[in-house]
């Protein structure tokens, strides 16, 4: 369903795939799952209402001096081969993601399909954000 790594506009990204008990039929199911798992890990969860901010991610997590921006997507296709082509992006989202990766910001793309989640991002952000979460 998911590859071991992806490249987004020339930036190499790592993947951590997890199988969970929940099924992700809607993007909002991913938000609810993230909220449960991250708040139990001590993070403050803020869902961003971004109707006037092109490209800004869906969720902001923070815990003391740590933060993470998260863009959640539900995979409609059978496999995720290309981040740019196989996901539904709104105006500005790819540019925002690439800018975050270029600046080494803690930004993750979380893609859900059936009962699997793929956390996709730069290796250091991926490890930092998933090390304290119990899936």
pLDDT at 114: 96
Q: DSSP labels for 67-85?
A: EEEEEEEE--SSSB--HHH
Task: Confirm whether 135 is domain-assigned.
Answer: no
Stretch 17-27: mean pLDDT: 92
Nearest C-alpha neighbor of 97 from the set 76, 73, 81: 73
Res. 32: pLDDT tops 90: yes
Res. 50: pLDDT tops 80: no
Q: What is the CATH number of the domain that holds 35?
A: 3.40.1350.10
Q: What does the alpha-carbon distance between residue 32 and residue 28 come to, in Å, rounded to a whole number?
A: 6
Which residue range is the domain that position 33 belongs to? 5-130
Nearest C-alpha neighbor of 82 from the set 17, 3, 25: 3
Res. 73: pLDDT tops 90: yes
- What's the domain count of the chain? 1
- Structure pTM? 0.92
Task: Confirm whether 21 is domain-assigned.
Answer: yes
Percentage, residues of the chain above pLDDT 70: 94
Task: Confirm whether 90 is domain-assigned.
Answer: yes
Do 2 and 118 meet the contact criterion of CB atoms below 8 Å apart? yes
């Amino acid at each position: 369903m998911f590859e071991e790594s992806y490249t987004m506009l020339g930036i190499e990204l790592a993947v951590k795939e997890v199988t969970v008990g929940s099924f992700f039929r809607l993007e909002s199911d991913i938000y609810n799952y993230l909220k449960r798992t991250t708040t139990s890990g001590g993070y403050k969860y803020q869902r961003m209402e971004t109707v006037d901010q092109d490209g800004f991610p869906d969720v902001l997590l923070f815990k003391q001096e740590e933060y993470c921006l998260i863009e959640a997507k539900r995979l409609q296709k059978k496999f995720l081969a290309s981040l740019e082509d196989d996901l539904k992006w709104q105006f500005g989202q790819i540019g925002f993601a690439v800018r975050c990766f270029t600046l080494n910001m803690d930004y993750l793309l979380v893609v859900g399909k059936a009962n699997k989640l793929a956390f996709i991002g730069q290796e250091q952000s991926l490890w930092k954000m998933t090390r304290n979460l119990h899936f």
